[in-house]
Amino acid sequence: MNSAGYLVNNMARLLVEVLRKRVAPLGIVPGQFPALLALWEKDGLTQKELLSMLDIEQATLANTLTRMERDGLIIRKEHPADARARTIHVTEQGSSIRDDAYRTAMQINEEVLADLSEEETKAFLGYMRRVIGRIKDIEST
């Protein structure tokens, strides 16, 4: 119960709930964050292009986009050259929360790491990247 796996899972659940509470006033939920970040950088992407920037499965993204459209954050338009594809566009509402959302996310990251020194934080992030790399290796075996 004090294993790495347990701690990782616990930490992730706690973190996502903090994020959920903090971004609720903005009208978004945690799962929408990665897609929004990418679309704020580059609007009008297809789902496939957006997918390539995120670490989730295609079906997960499709469903998340449907909820984002329902919530007025994006709209999907038909692709000019490919009738299978659709381009994804952030709405005015989706744009308007951008700065607040960024600030909130950065703030949470800071607060959550506040007990760690700068070097410890760096080490921690490095360990996570190494573990992630290792898991991806394991998976592909």
**Which does residue 134 bind out of DNA, a second copy, none, counting CB within 5 to 8 angstroms by kind?**
a second copy
Binding to a second copy by residue 2, rule CB under 8 A?
yes
| Rg of the chain in Å (alpha carbons) | 17
Binding to a second copy by residue 85, rule CB under 8 A?
no
Q: How far is the CB of 81 from DNA (least distance, A)?
A: 7
Closest CA to 75 of 57, 55, 56, 95: 95
| Contact criterion met (CB below 8 Å) for 124 and 113 | yes
Exactly one of 24, 44, 58, 103 binds DNA (CB under 7 A); which one?
58
| Contact criterion met (CB below 8 Å) for 56 and 65 | no
Binding to a second copy by residue 102, rule CB under 8 A?
no
Residue with tokens 């957006």: 50
- Cβ proximity to a second copy: between 78 and 124 the closer is 124
Binding letters toward a second copy, positions 45-64, x by CB under 8 A: ----------x---------
Size of the site for a second copy (CB under 8 A): 49
Binding to DNA by residue 29, rule CB under 7 A?
yes
Residues in CB range of 51: below 8 A, 6 or more apart: 58, 61
In 1-141, which residue ranges form alpha helices assigned H by DSSP?
A: 4-23, 33-41, 47-53, 58-70, 92-96, 98-112, 118-139
Binding site for DNA (CB under 7 A): 9, 13, 17, 20, 29-32, 46-48, 51, 55-60, 62-67, 76, 79, 82-86
